C-alpha cells in the first residue's frame, strides 16, 4: 500500500498490541474502542482516536479485531450506512482479523460489497500466536483474499506478523484459523487430561511435560500451555470460552465440505462444559479444572454406586 494509514476497531488483549505495532512501524493509525481507557493508552503510544467507527470511512484500510462477527456487524453499522449514502474511495479494504465463521464472513462481505457499490474489498485475515505474538509482532496471519488484495495488504500484515499466507478467497482465512484452533483446542485438552491423570496418580506433572517435550509429544502447544497446566495457572491470556466458538466453526466448515471431524465434535462439547462451569473468562489452561471437576463427579457417582468402595 502506498499510504501507510489505517483505521483500527477493537483495542482488546490482541488488538491493542497489534495496533501499537502498526504505529511503531510507521503507520498512521486511528482507532475506535468501546472503552475509552484503551484509547488513552493508544494515544500515549502515538496513535489517534476516532469518535466512532463511521469516522474511519475514508481510511484506505480498516481493521476489525473484535470477539465475533456479531460485534463487527454492530460496530460497522454506521460505517456501512455512511458508505451507502456517500460512496467510499475505490480500493478501500475492510480486514477482519478476528476468528469468525467462514460462511458468516462471506455473507458479510457480500453485504458490504452491495452497500458500498463494489468499491470496498472485504478480507478475512485471522491470526495465531496469542497475546505474546501480538505484542512481539510475530503473529501468523491466514488471509482469505484475492491475490491482488493480499499483495497490497502485505505491508500491513508484515507490521503485525512474521508469517502471512493467502489461503484462498474470502472465507478461506477463517477456515484456516478454524483448523489451527482444532489443533490448539484438542491438544490443550489432551494435555490437560494427561496432567490430571498424572497428578491424581502422584506424578510430578512438570517432570512429565519436560520429558514429553523431548519426544514425539513435544509441540509448541505443549511449550506454551504446558507450564500453566502443570502449575494450575489460569490467569487469562485470552478467554477460554472463545475456543468453543472456534471449534464450532470447524464443525460448520466440515458440514459444508462433507468431512468428518470427531475430535472437533468432542471438543465442542468439552468447551461447552467449560462455559457451563462458569470458567470461560479464564485462560485456556483452565480446561484442566474442567476435567478435574468432571473427574470428581465421576468418582462421586462411582462411590454412590458402590458404597463399600
Exposure string for 152-168, b = 16+ CB within 10 A, e = fewer: bbebbbebbbeebebbe
CA distance 201 to 157: 46
DSSP letter assigned to residue 122? E
Q: What CATH number labels 5-169?
A: 3.40.50.720
pLDDT higher than 60, residue 64: yes
Delimiting residues of CATH 3.40.50.720 domain(s) in the chain: 5-169
Delimiting residues of CATH 1.10.1040.10 domain(s) in the chain: 175-305
Instruction: Please state the rounded mean pLDDT for residues 8-20.
Output: 97
Predicted local distance difference test score (pLDDT) of residue 308 = 60
pLDDT higher than 80, residue 214: yes
pLDDT in tens, 159-207: 999 999 999 999 999 999 999 999 999 999 999 999 999 999 999 999 9
Residue of 242, 263, 271, 292 lying closest to 128 (CA atoms): 242
What's the whole-model pTM score?
0.92
Catalytically active residues are 177
List strand residue ranges (DSSP E) for the chain, in order: 5-9, 28-32, 48-49, 61-64, 92-96, 120-124, 127-128, 139-144, 161-168
Instruction: Please state the rounded mean pLDDT for residues 106-113.
Output: 97
Our CA dihedral for 193, 194, 195, 200, rounded to 10 degrees, sits at 90
CA distance 162 to 75: 29
CA distance 116 to 281: 37
| Maximum pairwise Cα distance, the chain | 77
pLDDT in tens, 66-104: 999 999 999 999 999 999 999 999 999 999 999 999 999
Q: Binning pLDDT at 50, 70 and 90, where does residue 301 land? A: confident
**Alpha helices, H only, 159-286:** 172-200, 205-213, 220-231, 242-257, 262-276
pLDDT in tens, 244-297: 999 999 999 999 999 999 999 999 999 999 999 999 999 999 999 999 999 999
**CA 6 from centroid of its chain's CA atoms:** 20
Predicted local distance difference test score (pLDDT) of residue 309 = 53
CA distance 25 to 196: 44
Our CA dihedral for 32, 36, 38, 39, rounded to 10 degrees, sits at 50
CATH architecture of 175-305: Orthogonal Bundle (1.10)
Cα-trace Rg, the chain: 21
User: What are the phi and psi torsion angles at 39 (to 5°)?
Assistant: -70, -35
> What are the C-alpha distances in Å from 199 to residues 208, 231, 262, 292?
10, 11, 27, 10
Find all residues with CB under 8 Å of 140, minimum gap 6, and list them: 127, 128, 129, 133, 161, 162, 163, 164, 180
DSSP letter assigned to residue 55? G
Q: Residue 143 forms beta bridges with which residues?
A: 166
Predicted local distance difference test score (pLDDT) of residue 109 = 98
What's the mean per-residue pLDDT of the chain?
96
Instruction: Please state the rounded mean pLDDT for residues 125-135.
Output: 95
Predicted local distance difference test score (pLDDT) of residue 70 = 96
The HSE-up count of residue 25 (CA atoms within 13 Å, CB side) is 19
Amino acid at each position: 500500500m502506498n499510504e501507510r494509514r489505517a483505521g483500527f476497531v477493537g483495542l482488546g488483549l490482541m488488538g491493542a498490541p497489534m495496533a501499537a505495532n502498526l504505529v511503531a512501524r510507521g503507520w498512521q493509525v486511528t482507532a475506535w474502542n468501546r472503552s475509552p481507557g484503551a484509547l488513552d493508552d493508544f494515544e500515549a503510544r502515538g496513535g489517534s482516536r476516532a469518535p466512532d467507527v463511521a469516522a474511519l470511512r475514508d481510511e484506505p484500510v480498516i481493521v476489525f479485531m473484535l470477539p465475533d462477527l456479531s460485534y463487527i456487524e454492530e460496530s460497522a453499522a454506521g460505517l456501512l450506512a455512511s458508505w451507502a449514502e456517500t460512496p467510499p474511495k475505490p480500493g478501500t479494504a475492510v480486514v477482519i482479523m478476528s476468528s469468525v465463521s467462514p460462511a458468516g464472513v462471506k455473507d458479510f462481505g457480500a453485504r458490504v460489497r452491495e452497500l458500498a457499490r463494489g468499491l470496498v474489498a472485504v478480507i478475512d485475515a485471522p491470526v495465531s500466536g496469542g497475546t505474546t505474538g501480538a505484542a512481539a509482532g510475530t503473529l501468523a496471519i491466514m488471509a482469505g483474499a484475492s491475490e491482488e488484495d493480499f499483495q497490497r495488504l502485505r505491508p500491513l500484515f508484515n507490521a503485525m506478523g512474521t508469517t502471512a499466507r493467502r489461503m484462498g478467497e474470502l472465507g478461506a482465512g477463517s477456515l484456516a484459523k478454524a483448523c489451527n484452533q482444532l489443533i490448539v483446542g484438542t491438544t490443550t485438552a489432551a494435555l490437560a487430561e494427561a496432567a490430571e491423570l498424572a497428578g491424581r496418580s502422584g506424578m510430578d506433572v512438570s517432570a512429565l511435560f519436560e520429558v514429553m517435550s523431548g519426544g514425539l509429544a513435544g509441540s509448541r502447544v505443549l511449550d506454551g500451555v504446558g507450564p500453566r497446566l502443570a502449575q494450575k495457572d489460569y490467569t487469562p491470556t485470552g478467554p477460554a470460552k472463545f475456543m468453543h466458538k472456534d471449534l464450532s466453526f470447524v464443525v460448520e466448515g466440515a458440514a459444508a465440505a462433507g468431512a468428518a471431524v470427531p475430535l472437533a465434535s468432542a471438543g465442542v462439547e468439552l468447551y461447552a462444559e467449560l462455559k457451563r462451569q462458569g470458567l470461560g473468562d479464564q485462560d485456556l489452561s483452565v480446561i484442566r479444572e474442567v476435567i478435574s471437576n468432571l473427574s470428581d463427579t465421576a468418582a462421586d457417582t462411582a462411590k454412590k454406586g458402590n458404597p463399600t468402595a
